């Protein structure tokens, strides 16, 4: 199903390229402009590298690096020059692109945002990271949901970012909303390598969904990102995997969303995304259509609480040098509704 990395493209295939981008150091606006140019260049490389490619994916932090700098001077906006350059690159190279920005937030900490731009330069997907990697990351928790959009050849695509993928609920939400391909971009470093691999596979298999996953790569003098571009089929098998850690390598493969749709309809054994709501349908008509999970009920009721809640030691970002927050999530929206 790989088609030799997308060289041999089938009529139903979608070819994805995952850019293991060299980890940059970005401190000033000039640095930001240079890194924007670097990403634009790599969009062109992706097109020249493989004429059959439909979608090129850049990792989280590909524009800003891993400094966690929230300096407003280097934050981005959807109507800023960085996003405009990405749009033009997609138009010029006739390719869809997935990009990462740290987005200015006038009401709090910046958002860690992801964009999918089509080959006409239109933003088709806009997502704010739900689960910043705490206590390390200072980003505001996402508040725009988990969108699923129609991508190349009509395939349904979702985007999650890095730590999001450690929560099985994130992949389940993507699949529940129809995603056939889930992209996961990341800036992870080597200690997370094994967790990265098995969650990418589990997210695919548990939801009969293709996952396309990529990290930053190389060293910035302080951190070492691992690359690990990884495309996983809906049965959990790895289609392509960048294991060499070579910076700026583009890991490519053809995927078949039509076979995802076929499996979701025809599989009996391990059709878990369906069976979650139809458990035991051999014994009872239609299966048990209930919510037996206490944690789900408690989240909806606003009473979610772990048995060891009071013993958790790290509950803010002070261990990583961030001040104790004072704002409550959703406070501005609640005030506006009064």
Active site residues: 60, 129, 162
List the structure tokens of 206.
């548990």
Q: What are phi and psi of 112, to 5 degrees?
A: -95, 105
10 Å CB burial of residue 273 (0-12, 13-18, 19+) is middle
How many Å apart are CA 208 and CA 272, to the nearest integer?
Answer: 8
Please name the residues in contact with 188: beta carbons below 8 A apart, sequence gap of 6 or more: 162, 196, 215, 216, 225, 226, 228
Q: What is the token pair recorded at 307?
A: 């048995």
Q: Which two tokens stand for residue 163?
A: 């730590």
The answer to whether the bond into 135 is cis (omega within 30° of 0) is yes
The two tokens of residue 7 are 């060289």
Rounded Cα–Cα distance for residues 77 and 88 (Å): 16
Q: What is the DSSP letter of 167?
A: S
> What does 223-275 look like in DSSP terms, one character per residue?
-EEE---EEE-TTS-EEEE--S--TT-EEEEEE-HHHHHHHHHH--TT-HHHH
The answer to whether residues 72 and 27 touch, using CB atoms and an 8 Å cutoff, is no
Query: Residue 101: which region, alpha, beta or left (left: phi > 0; alpha: psi -120 to 50)?
Result: beta
Nearest to 276 by CA among 289, 294, 263: 289
| Residue 100 bridge partners (DSSP) | 114
Element (H or E) spanning 160, and its range? strand 156-161
């Amino acid at each position: 199903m790989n088609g030799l990395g997308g060289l041999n493209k089938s009529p139903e295939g979608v070819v994805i390229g995952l850019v293991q981008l060299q980890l940059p150091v970005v401190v000033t606006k000039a640095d930001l402009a240079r890194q924007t140019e670097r990403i634009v260049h790599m969009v062109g490389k992706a097109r020249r590298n493989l004429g059959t490619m439909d979608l090129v994916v850049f990792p989280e932090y590909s524009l800003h690096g891993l400094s966690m700098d929230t300096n407003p001077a280097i934050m981005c906006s959807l109507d800023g020059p960085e996003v405009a350059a990405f749009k033009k690159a997609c138009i010029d190279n006739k390719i869809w692109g997935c990009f990462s920005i740290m987005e200015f937030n006038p009401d709090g900490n910046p958002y860690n945002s992801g964009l999918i731009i089509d080959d006409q330069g239109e933003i088709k997907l806009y997502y704010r990271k739900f689960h910043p990697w705490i206590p390390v990351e200072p980003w505001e928790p996402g508040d725009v949901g988990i969108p699923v959009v129609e991508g190349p050849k009509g395939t349904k695509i979702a985007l999650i970012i890095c730590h999001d993928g450690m929560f099985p609920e994130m992949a389940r939400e993507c699949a529940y909303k129809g995603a056939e391909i889930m992209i996961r971009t990341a800036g992870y470093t080597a200690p997370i390598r094994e967790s990265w691999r098995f969650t990418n596979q589990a997210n695919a298999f548990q939801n009969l969904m293709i996952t396309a996953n990529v990290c930053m790569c190389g060293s910035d003098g302080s951190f070492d990102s691992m690359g690990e571009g990884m495309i996983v089929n809906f049965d959990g098998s790895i289609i392509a995997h960048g294991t060499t850690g070579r910076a700026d390598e583009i890991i490519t493969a053809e995927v078949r969303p039509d076979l995802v749709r076929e499996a979701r309809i025809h599989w009996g054994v391990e059709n878990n995304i369906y069976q979650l709501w139809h458990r035991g349908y051999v014994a009872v008509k239609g299966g048990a259509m209930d919510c037996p999970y206490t944690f789900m009920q408690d989240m909806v009721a606003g009473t979610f609480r772990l048995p060891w809640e009071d013993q958790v030691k790290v509950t803010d970002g002070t261990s990583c040098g961030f001040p104790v927050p004072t704002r409550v999530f959703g406070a501005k929206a609640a005030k506006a509704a009064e």
